[in-house]
Amino acid sequence: MNRLDDLAARESLLVVGLISGTSVDGIDAVLAEITGPPDAPRVRQQAFLTVPWTDVLRREILAVAAGEPRAPREICRLDHKVGEAFGEAAARVVEAASLEPSAVDLVGSHGQTIHHDPEAGETWQIGEPTRIAARIGAPVVSDFRRADQAAGGQGAPLVPLLDAALFRSPERSRVLLNVGGIANVTVLPPGHGHEGVFAFDTGPGNVLIDEFVRHATWGELHRDEGGKLAAAGTVDEELLEGFLEHPYFYEPPPKSTGREVFGAGFVSLTLGEWAGSRDRLEDLVATLTEFTALSITESIRAYVQPRVRIREVLVSGGGVHNKTLMRRITEELAEIDVVSLETTGFSPDAKEAIAIALLARESACGRPGNVPGATGAGQAVVLGHITPSPTG
């Protein structure tokens, strides 16, 4: 019996989940014990941490993601450096749990997205998995999105597998809202399993706020901590109205997006508008925060509420810490309970890394990981590529 056959036969697996999102803030790493059948898994988080990117690596990732030209050897070197950084993050989270790497059964790595064009069926996540396998000494599942795209899907969102398995209620309809760099929702009607579940990216999450603040302050600030700048500003209603006319919001689900749509180009436009106006920095941050909040809530009104009567929204991701953003989302959805995922006993910061760990388990066991109602794929498929442990 080889190691993967052994993993598939095990009742309990200790899995590391790794992801760096659109915001490129750092690598989220979780160590989780996963037990139970695929339709009712049980997840026990043993350790979680975020390892920030070095300034050099972060700048290079953002430059490549923005389309700046690079020679093949430069992208190759970046791929390897990102893989080594992911391997180091995996080692750190194992150490945080007071364990040795030899205790880890499996690693799931989402990698770092540098290109995502669902209409063209293209996606690219870097972070060479052999470097992670060499650092930890365990098999690595990576490159989760391409198999779904090959089946006709968007390759995103990936978290609905976890959302449906852990948070679906037999009586209560829920939306799982994740506000990372890009915001996405998973809609869970009352019931069990994946039937009736759908999901999509609503548009920007933290990415526009973070990037504008970083550029406008020449790198002195990296985000609007707690939403304080937005709280001190006044929304530019004319600029906001223009933002909300973006064609992405008129596309029905399934749909996904990224920095190619809400990234450097959008921020450059915003910086140009700021330079030509009398708005303060706080006013532009307030406008981008309002835009983000409304892009989320209006997407829920347009594409969710006509299909499902939502009773509760559970929020995860870095946006949960932006008090101004959370306040506006809560005010706009006044008829719905909007609460942090923390109220369910799960870390709102660790959810996506846990989802990658669960996806890795399913892939290693030869089971599908996509939810066709979320991605638009023609069928459920096994996701990812498996890199064996260096020792077999």
Nearest to 165 by CA among 13, 37, 32: 37
The model's pLDDT over 89-104, given as tens digits with 9 standing for 90+, comes to 999 999 999 999 999 9
Q: Specify whether the backbone of 322 is left (phi greater than 0), alpha (psi in -120 to 50) or beta.
A: beta
73 lies in a domain? yes
The model's pLDDT over 130-178, given as tens digits with 9 standing for 90+, comes to 999 999 999 999 999 999 999 999 999 999 999 999 999 999 999 999 9
> What are the backbone angles phi and psi of residue 370, rounded to the nearest 5°?
-90, 160
Q: Is it the case that residue 232 has pLDDT exceeding 80?
A: yes
392 lies in a domain? no
Give the pLDDT band of residue 2 (cuts 50, 70, 90): low
Tally of structural domains, the chain: 2
For residues 131 and 187, state if they share a domain: no
Question: Which strands make up the sheet holding 198-204, listed edge to edge?
Answer: 198-204, 182-188, 174-179, 312-316, 337-340
Report d(CA 362, CA 364) in Å as an integer: 6
Burial profile 342-361: b = 16 or more Cβ within 10 angstroms, e = fewer: eeeebbbbbbbbbbbbbbbb
For residues 215 and 339, state if they share a domain: yes
- Please state, as a whole number, how many other Cβ atoms lie within 10 Å of the Cβ of residue 318: 22
For residues 145 and 259, state if they share a domain: no
**3-class DSSP assignment, residue 213:** helix
Q: Specify the pLDDT at position 1.
A: 42
165 lies in a domain? yes
> What are the backbone angles phi and psi of residue 125, rounded to the nearest 5°?
-115, 125
Report d(CA 318, CA 261) in Å as an integer: 20
For residues 274 and 321, state if they share a domain: yes
* Domain assignment of residue 197, given as a range: 160-344
Report d(CA 312, CA 309) in Å as an integer: 9
For residues 148 and 289, state if they share a domain: no
For residues 137 and 195, state if they share a domain: no
Q: What CATH number is associated with residue 79?
A: 3.30.420.40
The model's pLDDT over 322-363, given as tens digits with 9 standing for 90+, comes to 999 999 999 999 999 999 999 998 899 999 999 999 999 999
For residues 242 and 124, state if they share a domain: no
Report d(CA 182, CA 373) in Å as an integer: 19
239 lies in a domain? yes
71 lies in a domain? yes
